[in-house]
A = this chain, B = another copy of it.
Amino acid sequence: MGRKGRRAGPRIGKRFHAPGTAPGTLRPLEAPPGAKPVKVTVIDYGPGHLEEKVIERFEDLLPYRDAPNTTWINVEGLQDVALLESLGKHFGVHVLTLEDILNCGQRPKLEDYGTYHFLVMKSLALRDGCLEIEQISFILGKNYILTLQEIPGDSFEAVRQRIRRGKGMIRTAGADYLLYALVDALIDEFFPILEHFGEQVEALEDQVILRPSPEIVQQIHAVKRDLLVLRRTAWPERDTLSAFSREESHLIDDETKVFVRDCYDHIVQVIDMIETYRDLTSGLQEAYLSSISNRMNEIMKVLTIISTIFIPLTFVAGIYGMNFDPHTSPWNMPELEWYWGYPFSLTVMAVIAIALIIFFRRKGWL
């Protein structure tokens, strides 16, 4: 989004309406520059029936609402407030639901509005190593599902294929099963992302010990940040799915709930992995600090050994570099004129050096 790649994580919690706004005030979502226009597609299907269509005018939707087939209406792009208001009117959607659809910072949740269920989930994607999160709103009616997405995206392509191929029970089961299939597709998006982070963590584990560099601090912090975002997404989705699988409603079949429970198992597994990676990254940070301290110790040891050996030697050399005149008095540096003076001084130095080396060996520094 034009920001430097360094801070790859998504913005956290940036969307809100102005304080004091009346509930149900619908503020159109600013379309990102270069966005495509809002696109509404319909898939209407039954055991032996399949119709896919792109809707141009809102009125074309209404027949599907009342038909006995299962209908999946997918809205991509949320710029068109008029469309949403029509939806609200013709599908009996509460004004608070519409507001939640437009304010894309909602937590995942499931709400029962009597004639329909409103479900908020998140879609995840990695683009260039950068985690992106999009809100997906579902409205589950008697025989239709409305999905509303902010960005035109393809999280659901696999489900569409399954409907087209008509394999499995998707064609025969109702709208609630379709809801499950779509939610399951969203939950499945976690796994490749988590694998990506798993690999990153393993790569960092190697580097932290072998080549601790300042860039690693950044990378660890970035992974932590992304895991935080994933966690913030996964936990409420877990609560939502738990509620979904226990919801008493005429709109949701008992058989479907078995599948939702399976989906719940998956999100629990996802949370497990997120928490494990979080623990590992914390461990990494500590290991990094220890590793850096070790490096420092090594550096200081080299400095200390070299300095400590040569400083006394240089001092001895300095002594014999003094210009006291041996001729002035017999006490003035008579060594300078000794026959063995120079070898004597070198021997003194060697003795000092060897003593220090032994001392360092005793300390275990060499």
Contacts and interface: CB of A to CB of B under 8 A. Distances in A.
Interface of A: 6-7, 11-14, 16-24, 96, 100, 105-107, 109, 155-159, 161-162, 167-168, 170, 181, 184-185, 188-189, 191-192, 194-195, 198, 202, 205-206, 209, 211, 213-214, 217-218, 220-221, 224-225, 228-229, 232, 236, 258-259, 262, 265, 268-269, 272-273, 276-277, 279-280, 283-297, 299-304, 306-308, 310-315, 317-326, 328-329, 331-333, 335-343, 345-346, 364-365
Contact of A162 (B17, B22, B315): B22
A231 to B, nearest CB: 9
A333 B323 CA distance: 10
Given A328-B341, A329-B341, A292 B297 contact: yes
28 contacts: A13-B273, A14-B198, A19-B185, A20-B155, A20-B157, A20-B188, A21-B188, A23-B184, A109-B265, A221-B283, A224-B279, A225-B280, A236-B272, A285-B290, A289-B293, A296-B300, A299-B301, A300-B300, A306-B307, A310-B312, A310-B314, A317-B318, A317-B319, A319-B346, A321-B322, A321-B323, A324-B345, A328-B336
Nearest to A158: B20
A350 to B, nearest CB: 12
Given A107-B272, A303-B300, A333-B342, A19 B188 contact: yes
A159 B205 contact: no
A7 B205 CA distance: 8
A24 to B, nearest CB: 7
Most buried by B among A105, A221, A291, A326: A221
Contacts of A17: 188
A323 B317 CA distance: 9
Contacts of A258: 96
Given A205-B7, A308-B306, A322 B324 contact: no
Contacts of A16: 188, 191-192, 195
Contacts of A329: 338-342
A365 B303 CA distance: 13
A192 B317 contact: no
A206 B315 contact: no
Contacts of A343: 331
A221 B290 CA distance: 11
B276 A13 contact: yes
A284 B268 CA distance: 28
A6 to B, nearest CB: 8
Given A107-B272, A225-B283, A341 B345 contact: no
A242 to B, nearest CB: 14
